[in-house]
Amino acid sequence: METTGPTIGPPVAVALIWVLTLGAVALFAISARRLVRLLAAGRPENRLDQPGQRLQTLLVDVFGQRRLLERPYSGILHVLIFWGFVVTVLGSAEHLLHGLIPGFLDWPVIGGWGVYRFSQDLFSWLVLVGVVMAVYQRVVMRPPRLSLNLDGMVILGLIALLMVSNLLIFGARIILAPAAADAWMPASQLVARAMLGLPAPAVEALYRVGWWVHVTVLLGFLVYLPQSKHLHIITAAPNSYLRSVKPKGQLPTIDIEKALENDEPVGVSKIEQFTWKDLLDTITCTECGRCQAECPASISGKELSPKYLVLNLKDHLLHDEADRLLGKAPAANGATDHAPKEMVGDVIHDQVLWDCVTCRACMDACPVFIEHVPKIVDMRRHLVMEASRILPEWQKMLDNVEASGNPWRFPRAQRADWAKANGIPTLAERPDAEYLFWVGCAGSYDERNVKVSIALARLLERAGVAFAILGTEETCCGDPVRRVGNEYLFQLQAQQNVETLNGHQVRKIVTACPHCFNTVGTEYRAFGGDYEVVHHVQLLQQLVAEGRLKPEERLDASVAYHDPCYIGRYHDIYDQPREALKAIPGVELREMERHRERAMCCGAGGGHAFCEERTGRRINHIRLEQALDVQPERVATACPYCLMMFEDATRAKDVTETLPVADVAEMLERSTRRSDEL
C-alpha cells in the first residue's frame, strides 16, 4: 500500500469526514426507517413465491434494462447512467475509505487490476455522456411524459459532478501515486497530461478539490435520496423483483364473507388498505411518465394519468397520512385548519378511477413494474360496494347483468336464438362435443357480433371440430362487472357459470371474446373452474397449420390487425392471429405504429363499452386514425368490443365503405368457403 500518495488534508480533515459520513448515514437511516415503517402499515401479501421468475426479472429488466430500451434514446442514456452507477460505486467507496482510513488508497487485490481501473475510467465519461443526453432530452426534446422540474436537473448536475470529480481524482493520482495499472485509464491520462506542468502541491490541491467534491456529493446523495424521486435507485430493483407473478389477467379475489364477518373493507379507501407492495410501488415511481405516454385515457384528454395517480398516492402516504400511520399526533398548531383529505374522492377523484380502460399499457410500459390497474380496481371496489358512488350507466349495466345475465338486458330466454336459427347444437343436444363454444353476451345478442359467432361455428364445422354451446344456460362471464368494481356480483356470476360448466364436465372451451377468454380461463380457477380455454385465433391458427382449414379464396387487400388488450398484453397472443390472416391468399399485413405489446386499446375495456365518453377525444376515433395512418384496406380484430368500437369510429369518420372492419374468423370463413356454400 502506498504511503507517499495524496492525502485529503490535515488530520482535522479526517475527523471532519468521519463526522460528515456518520451524520449522512444517520440521516439516511432515519429516513429509511420512516419509509419502512410506512410500508409496513400496508396489508400483508406474499411476494416471494416463484424465485426463478423473479430472478429472471432482476436480470433482464433491472440489469438488462429491457423495458427502458424500448425507447432507444432514453433507454441508452439510462443504461449508461445505471451501469455507470453500478460500476463507479466501487470507486466512490474506494475514495471514501481513503478519507476515513489514512493510508488506504486502493482496494486490496482488485485495486491494482487493469480491468477494474479501466471500468472506473470508462464509465466516468460514459455516465457524463448519459447525463448530457438526459439534459438534452429534458431541455430540448421535452417529451410531454417528463415534467421539467428542479429535482431532475439537480440530480443530473450532481451525477455530472461525481463523474468530473472522479476524473480529476484519477488524473491527479496518476501523477501523485503512479501505478502499473494507470495505463488502463486513458481518460484519466488526458486529465493527468493537462496537469503535468504543475508543481506537486498544486496537483495535490486539485486532487483534494476533486476528492471533497466527490465525497460531499456522494454523502449529500445519501441524505437527499429518500426525499426525492431518485429513491428508485434503491427501490427499483426490489420493486421489480417483488413484481406480481400471478397470471396477468387475474384480479385479486376477495373473501367477501370473511371480510364482512370481520368488518374488513371490501375495497380500498384508505392508504393503509393497500398492500405493502402497493405502497412500495408508489415510492418507487421515478416520474418517467412512460405509463402516461401509453395510456389511452391520458392520450385522449381524460383526467386520468397513471403517473399522477401513483404520485398522488405517494404524496398522500408520505405527507397527508404519515403522522397518523406512524402513531404521531398531528402537529398541534396550524395543521388542523384543513379538513382531512379522503383518499378516494379528494386525492384521487372518482372520475380518475372511472377513466381507466384496464388495458394494462401503463403496467407493461413501467420500467419498475408498478401495478396501476389492480389499485384502480381496488378503489373502484370501494366506490361501488362501499360508497355507492358509480357512473349511472354502470349502475344500469350492473342491474342488467343481475336481472338478465347480460349487460344490455336482453331476455335470458333469447340468448341462444341466433344458434337455433343456424342449427348450432347445445351441449345438452351434443354432450360428446370436444369443445364448448363459449359465445359470450356480445356474440349472443349483438347483431354485428352474432355474425362472428356464426362465422366461427361454420369454421369449426368445416374443420370437423365437434363443438356445442351452453345455450340459455350461459350467462355473463362477469368481466365488466368485476372491472367496474362489483366483486360481489362478479363472484355470483362466476359461481353460477362454474357450476354450469362443471355440471357438464366441460374441459375444453373456445371463445371469440378476449374478455370471456381471460375471465373464464384465468379468473374462474379461484372458484373451482379449471378448463383449457383458448381464444378462437389460437384454435383457428392451429386448424390452418394442421391443414384442417384451407383458406383458398383470395382476399387481395392490405390488412391492419388491431390487437385486443385481453389477448394481447394480457395473454401474449400476438402471432396466431397474424399467422391466420397471412394464410389467406392475397392478404398483406400492415402494422400500425402501435401494435403487439404497444397496441392501443379500442376504448371499450374496463366497463367502457357500457358508458359514454364525456371528456376529451374519443379513444376509438384516435385508434382508427392510427389505423388510417398506415392506409390499410381492411381492419381485422378478434374482440367483440374492438369490432363495435372500430365500426362506430368508421361510421363517425364516414369511412365504412373504404375501410371495412371484420373479425379474423369472418375473414377466414370467407376464404375457406367451399363453392357449394357460396
Partner 1 sequence: MDIVVCIKQVPDPEIPTSQFKVDEVAKRVVPPEGVAPVISTFDLHAIEAAIQLKEQHGGKVTVISLGPPSVRDALKRAIAMGCDAAVQLEDPAFEGGDSYATAVALAAAIKKLGTFDLVLTGRQAADWDSGQAPAALAELLDVAGAVPVQKVEVRDGGLYVERVTEDGYQPIDMPLPSVLGISNEINQPRYPTLKGIMASGKVPIPVWTAADLGLSPDQVGASADRIVLQRLFVPVRESKCEFIEADTPQEMGEKLAQRLREARLI
Q: Name the residues that contact partner 1, by CB under 8 A.
A: 256, 260, 266, 384-388, 390, 392, 395, 398, 400, 403-404, 409, 411-413, 472, 488
Query: Where are the strands (E) in 615-664, listed by range?
Result: 634-637, 661-663
Q: Which is nearer to partner 1, 281 or 378 (CB)?
A: 378
Q: C-alpha grid cell for residue 70?
A: 424500448
Residues with Cβ within 8 Å of residue 615, at least 6 apart in sequence: 301, 302, 303, 351
User: Distance of CA 126 to CAs 63, 119, 135, 161, 207, Å?
Assistant: 17, 10, 14, 13, 21
Minimum CB separation of residue 415 from partner 1 in Å reads 9
Q: Which is nearer to partner 1, 306 or 606 (CB)?
A: 606
Residues with Cβ within 8 Å of residue 253, at least 6 apart in sequence: 487, 491, 523, 526
Kindly tell me the sign of the dihedral angle through the C-alpha atoms of 669, 675, 676, 678.
Answer: positive
Beta strand 508-511 pairing with 661-663: unpaired
d(CA 625, CA 623): 5
Minimum CB separation of residue 385 from partner 1 in Å reads 4
Q: C-alpha grid cell for residue 141?
A: 426534446
Instruction: Write out the DSSP string of 25-73.
Output: HHHHHHHHHHHHHHHHTSBP----S-HHHHHHHIIIIIIS-HHHHTSHH
* Angle between helices 276-284 and 232-241 in degrees, nearest 10: 140
> Comparing C-alpha atoms, which of 662, 656, 617 is closest to residue 639?
662
d(CA 641, CA 648): 10
DSSP state of 19: H
Q: Which is nearer to partner 1, 126 or 450 (CB)?
A: 450
Minimum CB separation of residue 297 from partner 1 in Å reads 23
> Comparing C-alpha atoms, which of 480, 481, 479, 521 is closest to residue 501?
521
Minimum CB separation of residue 409 from partner 1 in Å reads 5
Q: Which is nearer to partner 1, 412 or 617 (CB)?
A: 412
Q: Which is nearer to partner 1, 403 or 428 (CB)?
A: 403
CB atoms within 10 A of CB 229: 19
User: Distance of CA 656 to CAs 88, 318, 560, 577, 651, Å?
Assistant: 59, 52, 15, 23, 6
Minimum CB separation of residue 441 from partner 1 in Å reads 15
Minimum CB separation of residue 271 from partner 1 in Å reads 21
Q: Which is nearer to partner 1, 411 or 528 (CB)?
A: 411
Asked if 316 and 343 count as a contact pair (C-beta separation under 8 A), the reply is: yes
Q: Which is nearer to partner 1, 150 or 413 (CB)?
A: 413
Q: C-alpha grid cell for residue 129?
A: 455522456
Minimum CB separation of residue 392 from partner 1 in Å reads 6
Kindly tell me the sign of the dihedral angle through the C-alpha atoms of 344, 325, 232, 245.
Answer: negative
Q: Which is nearer to partner 1, 101 or 403 (CB)?
A: 403
Asked if 440 and 511 count as a contact pair (C-beta separation under 8 A), the reply is: yes
Minimum CB separation of residue 272 from partner 1 in Å reads 20
Q: Which is nearer to partner 1, 61 or 474 (CB)?
A: 474
Minimum CB separation of residue 468 from partner 1 in Å reads 21
Q: Which is nearer to partner 1, 266 or 347 (CB)?
A: 266
Q: Which is nearer to partner 1, 213 or 387 (CB)?
A: 387
Q: Which is nearer to partner 1, 269 or 542 (CB)?
A: 269
Asked if 523 and 249 count as a contact pair (C-beta separation under 8 A), the reply is: yes
Minimum CB separation of residue 659 from partner 1 in Å reads 32
Please tell me whether residue 329 adopts helix, strand or coil conformation. coil
Which residue is listed with cell 504543475? 198
Minimum CB separation of residue 388 from partner 1 in Å reads 5
Minimum CB separation of residue 259 from partner 1 in Å reads 9
Q: Which is nearer to partner 1, 283 or 611 (CB)?
A: 611
Burial class (CB in 10 A: 0-12, 13-18, 19+), 414: middle
Q: Which is nearer to partner 1, 402 or 553 (CB)?
A: 402
Task: Please provide residue 558's backbone torsions phi and psi, each rounded to the nearest 5 degrees.
Answer: -90, 135
d(CA 589, CA 586): 10
Minimum CB separation of residue 378 from partner 1 in Å reads 14
Minimum CB separation of residue 404 from partner 1 in Å reads 7
Task: Please provide residue 636's backbone torsions phi and psi, each rounded to the nearest 5 degrees.
Answer: -115, 145
